[in-house]
Amino acid sequence: MRDYQIRAIQAVESALTREQRILLLAMATGTGKTKTCIALVYRLLKTKRFRRILFLVDRTALGEQTSNAFKDSRMENLQSFADIFDIKTLKEIEPDRDTKVHIATVQGMVKRVLYPSDSVSVITPDQYDCIVVDECHRGYLLDRELSDRELEFRDFNDYVSKYRRVLEHFDAVKIGLTATPALHTTQIFGEPVYIYSYREAVIDGWLIDHEVPFKIRTKLSEEGMVWNAGEQMEFFNPQTGQLDLVHAPDEVKIEVEQFNRKVITEDFNRVVCEALAQHIDPSLPEKTLIFCATDAHADIVVNQLKQAFQSIYGSVEDDAIVKITGNADKPLELIRKFRNEVNPKVAVTVDLLTTGIDIPAICNLVFIRRVNSRILYEQMLGRATRLYNEINKEVFRIFDAVRLYEAIAPVSSIKPVVVNPNISFTQLMEELETVKNPDALETVINQLLVKIQRKRRHLSPNNQEQLEAIAGMPLSNMVSHLKQSTPQQVREWWEQRKAIAQILDLRDGGTVPMLVSRHADELVAIERGYGNAERPEDYLDSFRAFLLENMNKIPALMVVTQRPRELTRAQLIVQKLWNLCHVLRDMVLHTYNMLQS
C-alpha cells in the first residue's frame, strides 16, 4: 500500500483505541479510498474488532464497483478478500450468519429501516457493529431524474434526515469516507481524523495536475439572450410536444448560467460542439466526459457533437459518443463499456458520473452546465485526476463553455499546482533563490516537484543517467527527498545542482500548439484562462509602459537608451528585447485587426 493509505488506516485505528465511535476520512478523489477501506476492513475483521460490517454506497453503480473491488483485492497468500470472508452484495438483501461484509445502498436501507415490509425481516440495531459509508458527502447532489429508482426524496433536507435516521438506528461505529467533506458531513461524522489533499497527491505523483481551462466564449454566452418587449417568444411544452407562442411583456434576458435549463438553445450547443471537435480527436485513446444541464440537453449535445466530429474527422462510429444518464438504456452497462472498452470515447452525462466512478482514461472534462456547489464541482473534476500510464496521461484538460471554473475557483480546493505549464525549471530555480515570502516559496517548491513528476516519464535514458549522477540519487527518490527537506535545504540542494534544471529543460521533440478557434459572429474565442482575458495590444502596451516607466530606474535600460556604446553582452539582450517588443506588437496588432475584419 501507499504510505498515505497506511497513515489513513493508522489514524482510524488510533481513533478506535480512544473509543471514538464516529470517524471521517478525507482523501482526494483518485487516491484509492476504496482500496484503503478494504485494507482497513480486513484488519478490523481479522483481529475480530468487529464481527459484521455494513458497507453503504449511494448508487447502484458504486455498489457494483465496490463489490468487484472486494472480489479482486488480494489480501494474503494470493487469496482475495471474498475468498477469506463471506460478502453479500446489492442483490442479496439480508446477511447470513457468517456474512462479514454486507454491501447495500442508502436508498435500500432507508426502505428497510424506515418502511419495513412483511416479506423482509426487521433489521435490529445490533445487526451490524460497524458501518462504512463511501462517498458520505452525498445528498446535496440528488437529482430526481437521475437518482436510483429505489426511492425518491423530496429534497436535500429530506435526504439528510432519512440518511441520519438510518445511521442512528444501528448501535455501531460509523466510518465515513469522502474526497469533499461538506457541512452536513462533518455534522454527522465529525472533523476528519485524517486528510490527504489533491495538492499533496499531485506533488507526491499519485494524481495528475490539470491545466487552466480552455474558455469557450460564444456571442450568446457573452451577451446573453434578449427578447425585447412585445417580441414573440416560443415555449416548448414537453407534455404536449407543442410550441406555444407568447409576447414578452417586458425585456427578457437569459444569462449563460440558465442556458439549457431554462431555455433550449440549439445554436449555442452547436457552436460549443464545433469548438470541442477542433481540440478532441475521437481516434485517440483518451476519453472525454461532458456535463450537461438536463437529460434533454444531453440528447442535444450527443447529436450536435456527432455532426461536428463527422464534419472534421469524417466517419465516426455511432457508439463513440453516448449519453449516460439515469434515463439512458442500461446505464450501468454503458458505464462498464466506458470504463473497459474502446468505445464510447465520449460520455455525455448530467449527474450520474459525478461521484466515485473510476475511469482513469478520462483526459478531457467539458462543462456545459452551471452548478452552485463547490463539493459537486470538485467531484466532477475528480473524474479526471487519476494516473493512466497506458496512454501517457500527464495532465487533464478542462473545456468550460459556461464560465463555471471562473465562478467556483475562489472557493475550490482543486486548483492547478503548475498554473503556467510553459514555465521552465531554470526560471523556477531563479525564483527559488530570490523569493522571500514563505507562501510564495512553498508555491515555487511545489511547482518544481510537480514538474519533475511530469518530466520523469519522458526523459531519455541518457538524460536520466546524467540527472541521477548529478543528483546523487535515483530520480524516483528525488521528490521524496525534497519533500522532507526544509525550504532552506531545498534552496541549498538546487544551488549545488543547477545543471539539473538545464537537463530537465531539454526537449526531446516539438510540442503541438493549441489552436484558437473563432467562428465568424458566433464563436468569440477559445482561450486559456490565465488571469484576465486581455486583448493582445493591451498586454504589449502594458509591457511597453513598464519599460518606459522604469527607464531611469533600471541601469541596463539607461545604457540602452543613453550610452549604447557601453553596452555589455548581457545588456545587448535587453536592447534586442526592446526592439523585439515593437516588432511583436506590430505583428500581433496586424493579425488581430485582420481577424476582427
Cβ neighbours around 576 below 10 Å, total: 11
CATH number of the domain residue 293 falls in: 3.40.50.300
Q: What is the pLDDT of residues 521-576, one digit of tens each?
A: 357 777 776 444 333 333 333 434 544 565 555 555 555 555 555 656 666 676 67
32 & 75 share domain: yes
Q: What share of the chain is helix, strand, coil (3-state, %, to 5)?
A: 45, 15, 40
331 & 467 share domain: no
588 & 451 share domain: no
65 & 183 share domain: yes
117 & 176 share domain: yes
Task: Domain of residue 492: give its range.
Answer: 425-505
* Arithmetic mean of pLDDT, 205-218: 83
In a domain, residue 414? The reply is: no
The domain tally of the chain equals 4
Q: What is the pLDDT of residues 387-400, one digit of tens each?
A: 888 888 888 898 98
Please enumerate, as own/partner, the contacts of 262-268 that have beta carbons within 8 Å and a separation of 24 or more: 263/225, 264/236, 264/296, 264/300, 265/220, 265/225, 266/300, 266/304, 267/220, 267/522, 268/218, 268/220, 268/221
In a domain, residue 18? The reply is: yes
In a domain, residue 9? The reply is: yes
Q: What's the pLDDT score for residue 535? A: 35
pLDDT over threshold 90, residue 444: no
CA atoms of 183 and 473, how far apart (whole Å): 45
65 & 164 share domain: yes
Q: What's the pLDDT score for residue 412? A: 52
Q: What is the pLDDT of residues 176-193, one digit of tens each?
A: 988 777 666 777 888 889
478 & 544 share domain: no
In a domain, residue 585? The reply is: yes
Q: Which residues contact 150 (CB under 8 A, 6 or more apart)?
A: 105, 107, 108, 111
Confidence band (pLDDT; 50, 70, 90) for 33? confident
28 & 57 share domain: yes
pLDDT top residue among 556 and 161: 161
Instruction: Say if CB 195 and CB 24 are below 8 A apart.
Output: no
Q: What's the pLDDT score for residue 9? A: 95
pLDDT over threshold 90, residue 346: yes
324 & 438 share domain: no
Q: Which of 140, 165, 196 is the last residue of a domain?
A: 196
pLDDT over threshold 90, residue 13: yes
Q: What's the pLDDT score for residue 276? A: 93
476 & 392 share domain: no
In a domain, residue 239? The reply is: no
Q: What is the pLDDT of residues 510-535, one digit of tens each?
A: 333 322 223 233 577 777 764 443 33
396 & 437 share domain: no
Q: What's the pLDDT score for residue 520? A: 35
In a domain, residue 189? The reply is: yes
pLDDT over threshold 70, residue 407: no
pLDDT top residue among 545 and 218: 218
In a domain, residue 514? The reply is: no
Average pLDDT value over all residues in the chain: 75
429 & 393 share domain: no
In a domain, residue 252? The reply is: no
pLDDT top residue among 444 and 95: 95
